[in-house]
Structure 1
């Protein structure tokens, strides 16, 4: 999920015209890359080995097609709406993980921190959409 988010944010910033939004998505891509590193390090501390998949999910490809169409239309409001939906899905996935029984406390803390970061970014996008609308 974080790998897909990095790719989406990186590509999204390339297609935006608003400098503030470009900077926002660049920052989000870097934050999600840090999520990957932090989760990998935490997993290694617990004796696990991170599993990296080069395969992107079907959901990612479906989303990517919708985003690509929005890039072509140059409709930043609809694009931000789609990104908001993706962030909401990410939050749900994180919350599912947090509901896991016997999750180590250190992992819970890291996931909560990352969830808060995603929620903050989602709130920023929503505020921007309200200002533009």
Structure 2
């Protein structure tokens, strides 16, 4: 994979992590249940950490990390509709977070489908996808908290 394409893919993941971090922060501020609030705060921290690791890879491969979220960009971004769910209570926030995590996991899977990722990038993306998948599984066990 040429560096320019790799940097573009990494910047896309970085922007999605910015979106997810912001979405989790907003969810943590709006959710009533304390266990879900703690979960959302932890996930916001994880996405912040993911972003820093991705930035390191972007710089390593000669790129400049993008700044900011894609909120004014494409409406398909994972966390855009989270705001709309806030008016509907904990269950709507929870459901939107599930949807967002599923989408996020799929997007990481699409990146991993590229057979020519450099080994260090593949390792980082795999670790982050595994973390997203574990977080999604954990979130699914909390469904009763959002009812």
**What TM bracket, shorter-length normalisation?**
0.7 to 0.9
Note the 1:1-40 alignment, pairs <5 A: 1-40=16-55
TM-score normalised over the length of structure 2: 0.78
Task: State the 1:43 CA deviation.
Answer: 2.2
Q: Does 1:100 align with 2:114?
A: yes
Distance 2:29 2:53 in 1: 26
- Residue equivalent to 1:44: 59
Note the 1:62-101 alignment, pairs <5 A: 64=80, 66-74=81-89, 76-101=90-115
Provide the alpha-carbon RMSD of the alignment: 2.1
- RCO comparison, higher one (Cα < 8 Å, 6+): 2
Distance 1:129 1:9 in 2: 16
- Residue equivalent to 2:132: 118
Distance 1:102 1:67 in 2: 34
What is the number of equivalent residue pairs in this alignment?
130
